[in-house]
Structure 1
Amino acid sequence: MAKAGVEWSPQPSYTSTDKGDGTYSVPLLGSDVPDVSVERVPAAENGEGRDVYYMISTTMHLSPGAPIMKSYDLVNWEIVTYVFDRASIGDSFSLRNGQTSYGQGQWASSLRYHDGMFYVVFNTNNLGGAYVYRTDDIENGAWERTALGRGLHDPSLFFDLDGTPYIFYGSGGTSAVRLNADLAAIEQDYANIFRASDYAGKPFIGGLFEGAQFYHIDGYYYAVVITWPPGQGRQVVMLRSKELLGRYTSAGGVNTYEARGVLNSSGFAQGSLVPISREGGGTGWYGMFFRDTFPIGRIPALIPATWQDGWPTFGDNGVVKVDDVFDKPIKLGPEREAFEREKSIVASDDFVNDAPHKAYMDEKWTIPRPPDDDETLIGVELLDNPGFEATAIAPWGARYGATLSRDTVDPASGAAALKVSDRTLNGSGPNQALTGKMQHGVTYTVSAKIKYVSGPDIIRFNLAADWGAGVQVMASGNVPVGQWTTVSGQYTVPATANLDAFTFTVETPRANPQPPSSSVEYLIDDVSIVGQPVTAEYPAEEEIGSNGSRLDVVWQWNHAPDNRYWSLTDRDGWLRLTNGKVVTGKYVYTKLSNRAELAWFEEARNMLSQRTFGPRQSVETKMDISGMKNGDVASLAAYNRGFSYVAVKRAGGVNTLGVVNRVQPFAVDLDQATLESFLPGTTVPLGRATKVHVKADLDFASPAGQLWTTFYYSLDGRTWTQLGDRVGPQTLDGSLAHFMGHRVGLFNYATHEKGGHVDFDHYLLSDTLTAQNLPLDTSDLDAAIAYARTLDKRDYPKEAWSAMRAALTKAKKARTGKFGTQNQIDAPERALSYQLARLGTFKVPTPPPAVPAAR
């Protein structure tokens, strides 16, 4: 843009691939936006005079969750709100009492607009199954939630031509449920409308076969499905039928869905079809499919399609390469185009408490009353005959065909042990009912001595609970052949446990097919379950209710936050993170069968994070560490299950800065203190310093598929020192323990005592790394400031002008100082350029001078 000789042409945002010439490249965004569902609201129904698009994505254990993104051109997106603040106030979504939702929580949402109402359906793997949310105002309205009471994998909401609502779901095949008219309950099931096995021999159909999204186009019902044939990459298959329910309504009950592979290129797969209005009233259809691009994550791409005989061909004759360039499907005016390019799903932040209020911030929950504990059941042995000294085996019983007998030849102690023989399944073993003995929220120390003399060199044994909701591992451990070994651990009984059907068992981990451990004969002795004095955390009103601080929508917490222990108001212009509890080292990945332990870092519930973006990203923050207590660890991380962070650790009253790096392979049992010890050559004693600047430079391109991070520090923000060599590599975690791309987080956790706090002054982004050895460049900042000075406030609405002036004031203040990093330049420039581009969409003509009336 140019005005009065001033050139101002800002760069597109960090998550825009808009070239500024009517084209864009794929994938879009350069950030983790998986499981996308896109919905159009036609111009005639939205009051904005143009078609508006909304997109939803998976954010699993993060809070707030189910982000709603908005776009006018399908290329540039920004987050406008979230469906929920918390998916649950229970322990697992709140990282409370040993429970976690890592890699679980909210999955694969479906977003639909119907008869003036917006609907979102998503499944939860550990929070009670599928939910329907609805609102009549997607950007500013509150969402009403309805639980469907069962799991529906990868659900897709579809309204038939007569308005009947269905949810399609499944993996390996697609089933459906019909909902009642108000979408509050399931009325009818339709299992296996079509299955992958129905298309045996088709080379484009294989594993996964899930994520189906349904559409009605020109007389056909279409399903878009991700599949992964053997020896090939992930790809898109489409199925179509004249009958929505296929074999349920067809003559003879035959499958009516025909299938065709429509995209097998570069791994672009699961996602949506997207309608685009054409001149003359027609509709074109594109694809929005994501691609695995770890460690950044799963990144979507808008891919054009050519339709022939009712089937699409995506890209260039079915080929779509990374970084391919396509014409934008929707043309906007030049001012609007310029503003769209500045929109982003990541942002710098000065932590001023000025983010717009959003409806999800007012979410209401009923806080349950803490249970009344029976103290007579605390500190005492709850198992009967735990050492098998009684002549009878009772009350122990056998599961799944196992035979139980007393063994007096080789007990671990006393006169006898219990022999478990005739096993054919991993679940075969001894059990004991504990009805009326176990209590919600109580933590139990669980242990058993175990021995086997024939079989694999090492077998993992589980001490498990079962109350009808599947086996829950209370403790587990590896037992070597030929020696008595104690397996022990602690387990907190969740509020969801059915105490009237609670049984305890000793078994080997379940698997299919059955491994050799399933038939091993073993002995157990000195089994014990003892309740510990109650230290359980319970939901509290202050934990969940608003604390008066409002974060920008680009931020999400690692699990639902405890609002008592973070603030933007305790200190103006700073984010305060306070330690509300001490890490335990006893949390595990509840989604993993091996119950692998969490690092201390992963117990940091109030860790505030944003998506990463590629191929290069730099993040800078400033910390005030004067409020830290001994044992506190705080700072800046690039993280997933594997993580790299720079941190201040306070020990013995001394603050030390250093770097931690955790890479694969991931151990099951951890020494957390050793795991998170500083790397040699990275430590710096901070002496009397109370403030420290740190910077993380993330490189996703050297090489691709790996993240290497270089950390720097400064005591004045001007002179910077590198902390050791770059660290990594961070790569895709095959266990999918977090199942998301790496994120950048600000964190604080306590290892000794609670109450310590750290203040963060800002979060500054750039796409320039120190290692590029580029001179600091203020040209874009100078151009934006100069351009702003040419504008006339009479041309713009008051609110928009005020927002620009606020950004201009901060930019000018930054420019008067000395810069130490490109981050310190880019953050104020990007904020100002956004507001300047926004002003361009509002400009109103200056009224002509008044003409004096004739006399």
Structure 2
Amino acid sequence: MSWTRHELKRRAVLAASAGLLAEGALPAVAAGRASGAASQASLAGSATTFNNPVLWQDFADIDIIRVGDAYYLSASTMHYSPGAPILRSYDLVHWEFAGHSVPRLDFGAKYDLDGARGYVRGIWASSLAYRPSNRTFYWLGQIDFAKSYLYTATAVEGPWSRQATLNTAYYDAGLLVDTDDTLYVAYGNSAIHVAQLSADGRTQVRTEQVFSTPSSVGTLEGSRFYKINGNYYIFLTRPANGQYVLKSTSGPFGPYTLRQVLLDLRGPVPGGGVPHQGGLVQTQYGAWYYMAFVDAYPGGRIPVLAPVTWTADGWPAVQLVNNAWGTTYPLPAVPTPPRAVEPMTGVDTFTGTSLAPKWEWNHNPDDTKWSVGNGLTLGTATVTSDLYWARNTLTHRIPGPTSTATALLDFSGMRIGDRAGLALLRDSSACVGLIRDSGGTSVVMVDGLTMDANWNTTGTGTVRASATIPGNRVWLRAKADITPGAGRTATFSYSTDGTRFTSFGPAFTLNNAWQFFMGYRYALFNFATASLGGSVRFTRFEVTAP
């Protein structure tokens, strides 16, 4: 970023004035339903309904399963590392972070920001499954249209390890563990294929195209593969406004018949898109639900939930409210949850031995340049003037529709030329942060951090406000409105005592175009423009949302 001392002085005036799926449908148990509903209501206060979205955070290309009494959700993460986050719930409505299926994006130097960059590549739509025979979780996904990778773990928290590299790129993979324990994968774009894997999942035994999408339908992708009541179903999305399903009564390789599930359905989020590209899951009492996402930029793609019924001839149908995906539905009936889930917002003081799973790095980090325990220490890992090239930028999803992030930063270890702070990170970014030069340390607000459609940097930042900062610590704050639509803004402020915050710089208009796919994130960064060796320590980070 071109944050020169001259420019900082010139803008000081502005600163001063800125003030798991089982086969078959289980019978409903009336007593169990009543007990489950009552128990969930007790955890959620007196609520008997839930509102969509169930998660106002960026979790796209959803795969969802139930294992015992726990539900697990997996999502895309593109270039963020670790990849493929797993969320856990006991009622399909209240969720917590549990882990990541892909511990590190070790798929080439570009994911290390080593001579190349992996923006909008990496973990696309992938699949999470559970295999009862060996009590193991499986994750399968393709990378860069070249190869597919299989990871396994005996617990979603990990450790996860790579078990196989397959030479077929299973685009938008949907992994099925059949009732006879055979592993199948549905995949493809318009031309939909089914592959059978070896018993250990490490090789492909057979693959066949099972369906060709009619031109009248358009593109179908995002496979999710199920066996229900002896029939095989491949759930498919038409991006970004439809959902279809293929059904076979003759085995996993078909033939398949196509039916539309929804198209151009009004969604439950004002300003958001059509629910699509998700998965089906069955509760312990036999009810079915569909969790999809809606495009809701600038915040990303956010999960919504609706009940599903089945027609007499075996096709799923979303339960609508006034011919739309409901804003409100009755809470799912579930057994008494063992505990309340961990909140998605709150305070992190980085006192553990590892980062909480809510955190993901922008590309792979240099693990020699960061630590936790006594706060989060970020040593400079890159010499650059471009935040998009800086390693060890740590990101946190932004809750919607509005939220505030506040970071407490000890900057005593900064060196001349270093830049550190709190950013709103996407292909058009802004931040509030610090620079250190020969004249001391200044707090700045910067925008104009931009990338083009090929994710090459087009702007390294323009200082909009600056002020000299005394002492060795500062509170940095960002408030973001990610309500779907154009013209949404974020504002920045800082404080030297944690109580009185000074508004800083102009409001930053968030980019709501979809092409970057991921929504805005809060990001903690520290990089050098002169030489390595400096560090900062974030001792507290808090996210609040209404």
TM-score if structure 2 supplies the norm length?
Answer: 0.84
| Residue 111 of structure 1: aligned partner | 128
| 2:345/2:542 contact within 8 Å kept | no
User: Aligned ranges for residues 148-297 of structure 1 at < 5 Å?
Assistant: 148-191=166-209, 193-197=210-214, 200-201=215-216, 205-207=217-219, 209-228=220-239, 234-246=241-253, 255-262=255-262, 264-265=264-265, 266=267, 267-278=274-285, 283-297=286-300
- 2:369 counterpart letter in structure 1: Y
Q: Give runs of aligned pairs for residues 411-450 of structure 1, distance below 5 A.
A: none
Runs of 5+ consecutive residues of structure 2 not aligned to the other structure? 1-42, 268-273
Alignment of 1:113-512 (within 5 A): 113-114=130-131, 115=133, 116-125=135-144, 129-191=147-209, 193-197=210-214, 200-201=215-216, 205-207=217-219, 209-228=220-239, 234-246=241-253, 255-262=255-262, 264-265=264-265, 266=267, 267-278=274-285, 283-309=286-312, 310-316=314-320, 319-321=323-325, 324-333=327-336, 336=337, 340=340, 343-352=342-351, 354=352
Q: How far did residue 766 of structure 1 move?
A: 1.5
Alignment deviations for residues 154-193 of structure 1 (CA, whole Å, 9 cap, x no partner): 01111334332211110122112211121110121202x1
* Residue 562 of structure 1: how far off its partner (Å): 0.8
Over 3 Å counting, the alpha-carbon distance change for 1:705 and 1:669 in structure 2 is closer
The CA deviation at 1:753 is: 1.3
Residues 137 and 261 of structure 1: CA distance in aligned 2, closer, same or farther (over 3 Å): closer
Q: Matched residue of 2:54: which SS?
A: coil
SS in 2 for 1:92: helix
Q: Which of the residues 655, 667, 684 maps onto 2:467?
A: 684
Contact 1:635–1:648 (Cα < 8 Å) also in 2: yes
Aligned match of 1:752 in 527, 530, 537?
A: 530
Corresponding letter in the other structure for 1:724:
G
Task: Please state whether the residue corresponding to 1:74 is helix, strand or coil.
Answer: coil
Q: Which amino acid aligns with 1:725?
A: P
The residue type equivalent to 1:215 in the other structure is Y
- Higher-Rg structure is 1
> Which amino acid counterpart does residue 523 of structure 2 have in structure 1?
G
Q: How does 1:630-641 map to 2 (within 5 A)?
A: 630-641=416-427
Shift of 1:634: 0.8
Aligned match of 2:87:
69
Give, as a single letter, the amino acid of the residue that structure 2 aligns with 1:38: I
Aligned residue for 1:792? none
1:110 shift after superposition:
0.9
- From 702, 710, 727, the equivalent of 2:508 is 727
Q: Deviations over 1:786-823 (max 9, x none)?
A: xxxxxxxxxxxxxxxxxxxxxxxxxxxxxxxxxxxxxx
Question: Given that residues 195 and 205 in structure 2 are in contact (C-alpha distance below 8 angstroms), is that contact kept between their aligned partners in structure 1?
Answer: yes
Deviation by residue 1:507-563 (Cα, 9 ceiling, x = unmatched): xxxxxxxxxxxxxxxxxxxxxxxxxxxxxxxxxxxxxxxxxx411221111111111
Is the contact made by 2:387 and 2:460 (CA closer than 8 Å) also made in structure 1?
Answer: no
Give the 3 Å change call, closer, same or farther, for CA 288–669 of structure 1 in structure 2.
closer
- Native 8 Å contact 2:404 2:479 kept in 1: yes
The ranges of structure 1 where at least 4 consecutive aligned residues each deviate by more than 4 angstroms after the TM superposition are: 17-20, 667-672
- Sequence identity percentage: 30
Letter in 2 for 1:320: A
Shift of residue 666, structure 1, vs aligned partner: 3.7
TM-superposed CA distance for 1:677, in Å, is 2.3
Equivalent residues of 1:264, 1:319 under 8 A apart: no
1:741 aligns with 2:523: no
Q: CA deviation at 1:263?
A: 5.4
Q: Secondary structure at the match of 2:111?
A: helix
SS at match of 1:561: coil
The aligned counterpart of 2:27 is none
Q: Give the C-alpha shift of residue 651 in structure 1.
A: 2.6
The one-letter amino acid paired with 2:498 is: G
Contact persistence 2:118–2:363 (CA under 8 A) = yes
Task: Summarize the Cα distance change of 1:657–1:317 in structure 2 as closer, same or farther, 3 Å threshold.
Answer: closer
| Map of 1:403 onto structure 2 | none
Provide the secondary structure at the position in 1 that maps to 2:125: strand
Counterpart position of 1:551: 355
Please state whether the residue corresponding to 1:677 is helix, strand or coil: strand
Contact 1:264 1:318 in 2 (8 A): no
- The Cα offsets for residues 306-351 of structure 1, whole Å up to 9 and x where unpaired, read as 22222222132683347x1111112454xx59x53x5334442112
1:707 Cα shift? 3.7
Q: What runs of 5+ residues in structure 1 fail to find an aligned partner?
A: 1-16, 43-50, 248-254, 355-548, 586-599, 769-855
Question: Quick one: which of 738, 745, 763 aligns to 2:541?
Answer: 763
Deviations 1:54-82 (A, max 9, x none): 12111122222222221111111111222
Amino acid at match of 2:502: T
Q: For residues 273 and 289 of structure 1, what CA distance do their matches in structure 2 show?
A: 9
Q: How does 1:524-673 map to 2 (within 5 A)?
A: 549-569=353-373, 572=374, 574-583=375-384, 600-662=386-448, 666=452
Distance 1:722 1:697 in 2: 11
In 2, Cα distance between the equivalents of 1:696 and 1:602? 19
**Contact 2:284-2:334 at 8 Å conserved across structures:** no
Counterpart in 2 of 1:789?
A: none
Q: Which residue of 2 aligns with 1:25?
A: 51
Give the Cα–Cα distance (whole angstroms) in 1 for the partners of residues 431 and 543 of structure 2.
17
Letter aligned with residue 476 of structure 2: V
Contact 1:708 1:730 in 2 (8 A): no
| Offset at residue 206 of structure 1 (A) | 2.2
- 2:460 maps to a residue whose letter is L
Q: 1:751 Cα shift?
A: 1.2
Residue 141 of structure 2 aligns to which amino acid in structure 1?
Answer: F
Q: Is the 8 A contact 2:88 2:97 kept in 1?
A: yes
- How many Å separate the matches in 1 of 2:421 and 2:129? 40
Alpha-carbon distance in structure 2 between the residues aligned to 1:644 and 1:263: 37
User: Quick one: which amino acid aligns to residue 466 of structure 2?
Assistant: T
Q: Partner residue of 2:482?
A: 700
Structure 2 Cα separation of the partners of residues 157 and 306 of structure 1: 23
AA matched with 1:88:
D
Pairing of 1:37-52 with structure 2 (within 5 A): 37-42=63-68, 51-52=69-70
Post-superposition offset of 1:609: 1.3
Specify whether residues 567 and 170 from structure 1 end up closer, same or farther in structure 2 by C-alpha distance, changes over 3 A only. same
Distance 1:220 1:261 in 2: 17
- Distance of 1:217 and 1:566 partners within structure 2: 47
Letter in 2 for 1:274: V
- For the structure 1 residues 348 and 159, does the alpha-carbon distance in structure 2 shift closer, same or farther, using more than 3 Å as the test? same
Secondary structure of the 2:126 match is strand
Q: Provide the C-alpha distance between the structure 2 equivalents of 1:140 and 1:158, rounded to a whole number of angstroms.
A: 21
- Which amino acid in 1 is paired with 2:507? R
Counterpart contact for 1:263–1:314, Cα < 8 Å: no
Q: Deviations over 1:401-449 (max 9, x none)?
A: xxxxxxxxxxxxxxxxxxxxxxxxxxxxxxxxxxxxxxxxxxxxxxxxx
Q: 1:244 and 1:168 mapped to 2: Cα distance?
A: 13
On the 8 A contact 1:577/1:757 being kept in 2, the answer is yes
For the Cα contact (< 8 Å) 2:261–2:316, is it kept in 1?
no
Q: Which secondary structure state, in structure 2, belongs to the residue aligned with residue 108 of structure 1?
A: coil
Q: Tell me which amino acid in the other structure corresponds to 1:619.
A: A
Q: CA deviation at 1:246?
A: 4.8
Q: Is the 8 A contact 1:346 1:610 kept in 2?
A: no
- Aligned equivalent of 1:86: 104
How big is the shift at 1:664?
A: 7.0
**What SS does the aligned partner of 1:619 have?**
strand
Shift of 1:258: 3.2
CA separation of 1:270 and 1:178: change in aligned 2, threshold 3 A = same
Give the number of the structure with larger relative contact order, counting CA–CA contacts within 8 Å between residues 6 or more apart: 2
Instruction: Map Cα deviations across residues 655-704 of structure 1 (whole Å, 9 max, x no partner).
Output: 222212237784879887x631202xx21122x43222111111123x74
Distance 1:700 1:71 in 2: 24
